[in-house]
């Protein structure tokens, strides 16, 4: 039987807003603590909250227990990660997330607890493209996806869950037309699964 195509390709997953419900919980926290009722579509930049509230609006992200007690997988995220593992093997499914020094361990605990991905497969860095050069990157932020596509010329999936993420909405034009073929903007896990299963079963299906 023909092996899967690109069997050594890795799948790199972002954590916050891609797998975990951090932005939704952040909105709840902002409402309770700062009495502001912002929705995700309103947040048209990554700095939206900072611009309105300064650093106090970002204290949510600094709470040491937030990844143990508050943040949870988005609906369907656990099954989605299992699907990714079934496509390329557990050892090839990695998480890349930007983390402050104090949050690293908490995030690793979270990823292991909910997604059964070991800490050795969790990478903490802002320049995600440098880690993702041997794989596909799936992330909710265009400023992570676009450099991955430009530098690695590999598939980048911009995940805008149900079209609700204001910060990455309508940004496709910022990517030069030469690179557009590597970009997919998708709004559900089912859409991503379809793209990935086409990608990894392509050789096998053609043979049968
Ligand atoms: Mg994210």
Bridge pairing between strands 122-124 and 93-97? parallel
Does residue 187 register a pLDDT over 60?
yes
pLDDT band at 201 (very low <50, low <70, confident <90, very high): confident
> Alpha-carbon distance 57 to 63, whole Å?
12
Lowest mean pLDDT among 32-36, 99-103, 141-145: 99-103
A 10 A CB-CB count for 26 gives 23
CA of 111 to the centre of ligand 1 (A): 14
pLDDT digits (tens, 9 = 90+) for 108-119: 999 999 999 999
CA of 200 to the centre of ligand 1 (A): 25
CA of 138 to the centre of ligand 1 (A): 9
CA of 27 to the centre of ligand 1 (A): 15
Distance of CA 189 to CAs 21, 53, 84, 138, 158, Å? Answer: 14, 32, 11, 11, 11
Domain covering 10-21+73-207, topology: Rossmann fold (3.40.50)
CA of 43 to the centre of ligand 1 (A): 14
Of residues 171, 177, 156, 179, the one with CA closest to residue 45: 171
Domain regions of the chain by residue span:
10-21+73-207
Containing H/E element for 200? helix 189-207
């Amino acid at each position: 039987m023909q092996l899967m195509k690109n069997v050594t390709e890795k799948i790199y997953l972002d954590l916050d807003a891609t797998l975990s419900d951090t932005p939704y919980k952040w909105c709840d926290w902002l409402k309770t603590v700062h009495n502001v009722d912002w929705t995700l579509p309103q947040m048209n930049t990554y700095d939206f909250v900072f611009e309105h509230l300064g650093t106090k609006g970002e204290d949510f992200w600094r709470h040491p227990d937030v990844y143990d007690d508050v943040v949870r997988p988005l609906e369907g995220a656990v099954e989605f990660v299992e699907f990714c593992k079934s496509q390329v093997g557990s050892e090839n499914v990695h998480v890349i997330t930007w983390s402050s020094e104090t949050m690293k361990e908490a995030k690793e605990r979270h990823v292991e607890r909910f997604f059964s991905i070991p800490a050795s497969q969790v990478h903490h860095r802002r320049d995600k493209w440098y880690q993702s050069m041997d794989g596909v990157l799936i992330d909710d932020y265009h400023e992570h996806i676009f450099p991955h596509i430009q530098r690695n010329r590999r598939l980048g999936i911009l995940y805008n869950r149900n079209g609700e993420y204001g910060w990455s909405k309508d940004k496709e034009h910022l990517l030069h037309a030469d690179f557009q073929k590597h970009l997919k903007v998708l709004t559900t896990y089912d859409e991503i699964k379809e793209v990935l299963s086409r990608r990894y079963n392509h050789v096998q299906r053609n043979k049968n």
